[in-house]
Amino acid sequence: MLFPFATFYMLPIINMFSILGVIYCALTAMRQIDIKRIIAYSSVSHMNLGVLGSISFNMQGLEGFVFLMLGHGLVSTSLFLLVGSLYDRFHTKLIYYFGGLCQIMPIFSIFFFFFNIANFSFPGTSNFIGELLLLVGIVKSNVFIFLLSGFGILFGTCFSILLLNKVIFGTLKLKKNRKMTISLDLTRRETFVLTVITIYTILIGFYPSIILDNTYSSLKFILTKMLI
């Protein structure tokens, strides 16, 4: 709304860089060996998709952008918290040192699994509603951009599944991990915080009207001003 003429004038360049950001960051995440960097690059990829939705100039795109920011705030925060708990216990974030954590950290593995599938917009989670609205808004604006951004979503699903397989499934890799017991699992405080975030993630995933009804008037006003 601050620079409407500049926005429309620079629209092709913004679209180009946003598409590159979606695909490039997703591919970069697949090549990382630091778990924290994987989550960080996935966040950048998601936000580039959000930019594409915000400049689609329709209600679905704007609603999807707002919803994705809220949902991603829940999911990404939880993933960073989980990585932080791993670092506190093992003093490393390199993916090569992990594997088979479901054998010694079952509660951690449950939350890590849930928030990873939420990160690639599994149905029933907050990110699913956000990305669905974004894609509807993008396809109404430009089908070609929609097809290109779809590759980024596909790659995002791939690196999330790879991360799950390498961290919580398989066999324990470090010798010292083989001696660890169930006591290294999440603490009560960590479990409580993640449980609350999980409830919110599922709640707005099944009842998106909680967010959409309260943001409709503001987004409608913004859209009207942009198209005048």
Which DSSP letter does residue 179 get? Answer: T
Question: Could you tell me the pTM of the whole model?
Answer: 0.86
Domain residue spans of the chain: 14-213
166, 113 in Cβ contact below 8 A? no
- Give per-residue pLDDT as tens, 156-188: 888 888 888 888 887 777 655 555 555 678 888
Average pLDDT over residues 14-27: 90
pLDDT band, very low/low/confident/very high, at 152 (cuts 50, 70, 90): confident
Average pLDDT, the chain: 86
- For the cut 60, the answer to whether the pLDDT of residue 73 exceeds it is yes
Give 10's contacts (C-beta < 8 A, 6+ positions apart): none
Query: What's the rounded Cα separation, in Å, for the pair 60 and 65?
Result: 9
- For the cut 80, the answer to whether the pLDDT of residue 90 exceeds it is yes
- Bridge partner list, 191: none
- Give per-residue pLDDT as tens, 188-225: 899 999 999 999 999 999 998 888 888 888 888 888 87
Per-residue exposure over 2-25, b if at least 16 CB sit within 10 Å of its own CB, e if not = eeeeeeeeeeeeebeebbebbbbb
pLDDT band, very low/low/confident/very high, at 227 (cuts 50, 70, 90): low
Query: What's the rounded Cα separation, in Å, for the pair 72 and 43?
Result: 8
Give 205's contacts (C-beta < 8 A, 6+ positions apart): 71, 123, 124, 125, 126, 127, 128, 129
